[in-house]
Chains A and B, each alone.
Chain A
């Protein structure tokens, strides 16, 4: 039994007004080993420099984690954070971050989720939570306007995310669905599936990097945020003006209407038509079944029964799916996004959208990342085809390409770490090492993290993004190549000047394309620190970065310029890079799987590889633009000093990893 006097209290400063505009001004720290709850102020100079989300979490984790720790051990810490504009209602402002050392990758781990949690984090009384240590027994954390409690979670341990969320709300006596936002792990997180997700609001996932496994290792089953605290803002009138501007701008984004109509899965047939739909474990790039699983078919078939949204967002891109057969679906558990559609669809040669919907909902219930899970299933299918995995090892399960039943059964086995699922729960990198027999050749990962569903052989900057991502292969570090060919998306105020960036086609990989990656990378990194949804932001969405900057300044009272804004994004990138350098990662880890270096056999990009020469040239240009050492890929003292990270350079020097 937990002792209530150690685990419950009000942690807001009494009789003191909140003084840091845009923020609550307090960080909650929960040590599960000691069962202690403390708070600390968020200093303005820290907030201004590191903003929130990615930046603030990188600062905390770089400062507090020792390199080389076990990501599933008590030394790892989980940082859950919102941004300075949290609880200000405008489209896209509904995300929060979860960061830790990744148990899936080789170093830095981060993940983001939407839904209704982000404003509740603020309204419950804090800007961020730091979770450290390991609890002896399962617990869940309840935060309500500064009141913080650790409650016993034994009765929820072993249960799915949906069961946990619904019962926690019952335990709290909630009568309104949106009174409390709950984030929890399922059996996947408890059993430390290395790509376990944290699920909130039933259908939203902080899916990538295995943050759910870190939570499971700490025996933290869930956290719940409640409250209606108001975040102080500096200039209400100016803020409202910028929010109105957001309403007008967001609709101008070319991606917004299709996103509403067909969801992200609407891209599936487009990706196949353009020869860029990852298919059969990256062996192909077109899929004859794409039309059967694409977003439009999800709508026209009646599988889609509604559209849903995150907090304050007018785009409504979330899918509601429901069906009784061939698989029983639950409309509360959400519908498949593009990544999930491709990962469990074309990537496994499966054209059954109902099976994809089922696999998606199973992942949500067990709490595992759908991208990694789909890539792992395809890896297992290829291993089975090659005889590296036998029917004996799979427990009699026939892992034939395209088999919907095999996909669903394997997802369940992984979620429960049962049978062959125990090996596959390790992710393709570790599973391939254990299997041997050449399995490493078709384990599609970068830095241990499974590749998302975009084809670098038809989008060169995607290849660069996969290679250099500090969290491993990622598709959300900068906007994809398609937008940059046209002058329409150039923005001189952001350094995107058409005349200075001459070669911008999909297959170009020279300095112009890399410069776009760098600029866009800084911008999206800032979005991850503000913790906003890039779908609503330029170029796919219509909200301009200058408008976001206006909101930030109006909320905080700061006078940041667009250069300061981009530099804050760049600072966070340098911090996560330094985090990885401390873990021993260098240029050699900025690599792509061999299969991507080979030419595609089909589609519009047939015969075009992403050769080592192309990647080498892009890396050289990228490191140069960032001021990183070309030999090691590690930030130099000059590059760190330039963004105000002198102490990070000192730390790297002390560890003998700072380039000479």
Chain B
């Protein structure tokens, strides 16, 4: 039997990303090793409206800023944060 390891992460959508995804949070299981850009691609495939925000969205892993190519670990919380402006 072939054992395929995976990483289980939570995607947290804030602001306009929550509107586009239609949910505040969801779980995603990816084959390991996984980078954040793969997670985002899967999220966009599931919620096409997210593609409109791709250029402007910022990413955090466990509350810390993360680059598109950052590697994901099991249990990570990935936050998709659109611009937060004045109000």
Most buried by B among A273, A296, A483, A485: A273
CA distance A540 to B82 in the complex (A): 11
CA distance A286 to B62 in the complex (A): 13
Q: Is A266 an interface residue (CB 8 A)?
A: yes
In contact, B84 and A486 (Cβ under 8 angstroms)? no
In contact, A273 and B79 (Cβ under 8 angstroms)? yes
**Stretch touching chain A among B8-16, B30-38, B39-47:** B8-16
In contact, A479 and B85 (Cβ under 8 angstroms)? yes
- Total number of A residues with any Cβ neighbor in B under 8 Å: 38
Contacts of B16 in A (CB 8 A): 254-255, 257-258
Contacts of B56 in A (CB 8 A): 254, 483, 485-486, 488-489
User: Which residues in chain B, 18-61, are within 8 Å of chain A measured between CB atoms?
Assistant: 18-19, 24, 53, 55-56, 58, 60
- Total number of B residues with any Cβ neighbor in A under 8 Å: 23
Q: Is B64 an interface residue (CB 8 A)?
A: yes
Find A254's partner among B53, B64, B86 (CB 8 Å cutoff). B53
Contacts of B18 in A (CB 8 A): 258, 296
Produce 1/0 per residue, A229-264, CB < 8 A to B.
000000000000000000000000011011001001
In contact, B85 and A255 (Cβ under 8 angstroms)? yes
Nearest neighbor of A263 in chain B, beta-carbon distance: B87
Nearest neighbor of B53 in chain A, beta-carbon distance: A254
CA distance A270 to B14 in the complex (A): 6
In contact, A454 and B86 (Cβ under 8 angstroms)? yes
Q: Is A482 an interface residue (CB 8 A)?
A: yes
Produce 1/0 per residue, A603-631, CB < 8 A to B.
11000000000000000000000000000
Contacts of B83 in A (CB 8 A): 254-255, 480, 482-483, 539-540
In contact, A274 and B86 (Cβ under 8 angstroms)? no
Contacts of B60 in A (CB 8 A): 273-274, 604
CA distance A483 to B60 in the complex (A): 17
Produce 1/0 per residue, A292-308, CB < 8 A to B.
00001000000000000
In contact, A267 and B87 (Cβ under 8 angstroms)? yes
Find A270's partner among B19, B53, B81 (CB 8 Å cutoff). B81
In contact, B64 and A274 (Cβ under 8 angstroms)? no
Contacts of B58 in A (CB 8 A): 274, 482, 485
Contacts of B55 in A (CB 8 A): 486-488
Q: How far is the CB of B76 from chain A (nearest CB, A)?
A: 14
Q: How far is the CB of A263 from chain B (nearest CB, A)?
A: 9
Produce 1/0 per residue, A587-607, CB < 8 A to B.
000000000000000011000
Nearest neighbor of A541 in chain B, beta-carbon distance: B85
CA distance A513 to B22 in the complex (A): 33
CA distance A540 to B58 in the complex (A): 16
CA distance A337 to B65 in the complex (A): 27
Contacts of B81 in A (CB 8 A): 270, 273-274
In contact, A480 and B84 (Cβ under 8 angstroms)? yes
Q: How far is the CB of A380 from chain B (nearest CB, A)?
A: 25
In contact, B87 and A269 (Cβ under 8 angstroms)? no
Find A286's partner among B63, B79, B87 (CB 8 Å cutoff). B63
Nearest neighbor of A482 in chain B, beta-carbon distance: B83
CA distance A269 to B24 in the complex (A): 11
Find A296's partner among B12, B24, B79, B82 (CB 8 Å cutoff). B24
CA distance A483 to B82 in the complex (A): 9
User: Which residues in chain A, 460-517, are within 8 Å of chain B measured between CB atoms?
Assistant: 475-476, 479-480, 482-483, 485-489
In contact, A604 and B64 (Cβ under 8 angstroms)? yes
In contact, A275 and B63 (Cβ under 8 angstroms)? yes
Nearest neighbor of B14 in chain A, beta-carbon distance: A270
Nearest neighbor of A535 in chain B, beta-carbon distance: B87
Produce 1/0 per residue, A427-442, CB < 8 A to B.
0000000000000000
CA distance A339 to B85 in the complex (A): 12
In contact, A480 and B15 (Cβ under 8 angstroms)? no
Q: How far is the CB of A87 from chain B (nearest CB, A)?
A: 26
Q: How far is the CB of B18 from chain A (nearest CB, A)?
A: 8
CA distance A628 to B83 in the complex (A): 31
CA distance A269 to B87 in the complex (A): 14
CA distance A258 to B16 in the complex (A): 6
Contacts of B19 in A (CB 8 A): 257-258, 261
Contact A480/B63 with A257-B19, A266-B15, A274-B81 known, Cβ cut-off 8 Å? no
Q: Is A271 an interface residue (CB 8 A)?
A: yes
In contact, A267 and B15 (Cβ under 8 angstroms)? yes
Q: How far is the CB of A341 from chain B (nearest CB, A)?
A: 10
Q: Is A284 an interface residue (CB 8 A)?
A: no
In contact, A338 and B87 (Cβ under 8 angstroms)? yes
Q: How far is the CB of A507 from chain B (nearest CB, A)?
A: 9
CA distance A480 to B56 in the complex (A): 13
In contact, A274 and B87 (Cβ under 8 angstroms)? no
Most buried by B among A296, A339, A482: A482
In contact, B84 and A604 (Cβ under 8 angstroms)? no
In contact, A475 and B86 (Cβ under 8 angstroms)? yes
In contact, A254 and B82 (Cβ under 8 angstroms)? yes
Nearest neighbor of A256 in chain B, beta-carbon distance: B16
CA distance A540 to B16 in the complex (A): 11
Contact A479/B86 with A270-B15, A273-B14, A489-B56 known, Cβ cut-off 8 Å? yes
Most buried by B among A274, A276, A485: A274
Contact A476/B64 with A485-B58, A486-B55, A486-B56 known, Cβ cut-off 8 Å? no
In contact, B84 and A337 (Cβ under 8 angstroms)? no
Contacts of A603 in B (CB 8 A): 63
In contact, A274 and B53 (Cβ under 8 angstroms)? no
CA distance A3 to B14 in the complex (A): 60
Contacts of B85 in A (CB 8 A): 255, 267, 479-480, 482-483, 539-540
In contact, A269 and B63 (Cβ under 8 angstroms)? no
CA distance A475 to B86 in the complex (A): 6
Contacts of B79 in A (CB 8 A): 273-274
Contacts of A480 in B (CB 8 A): 83-86
Contacts A276-B84, A535-B87 supplied; 19 other A-B pairs, CB < 8 Å: A255-B83, A255-B85, A258-B16, A267-B87, A273-B60, A273-B63, A273-B81, A274-B58, A296-B18, A337-B87, A339-B87, A476-B86, A480-B83, A482-B85, A486-B56, A488-B55, A539-B83, A539-B85, A604-B60
Interface positions of B (Cβ within 8 A of A): 12, 14-16, 18-19, 24, 53, 55-56, 58, 60, 63-65, 79, 81-87
Interface positions of A (Cβ within 8 A of B): 254-255, 257-258, 261, 264, 266-267, 269-271, 273-276, 286, 296, 337-339, 454, 475-476, 479-480, 482-483, 485-489, 534-535, 539-540, 603-604
Q: Can you show 17 pairs from A to B with CB atoms below 8 A apart?
A: A255-B85, A266-B15, A267-B87, A273-B14, A273-B81, A274-B79, A339-B87, A475-B86, A479-B86, A480-B84, A480-B86, A482-B84, A482-B85, A540-B85, A603-B63, A604-B63, A604-B64
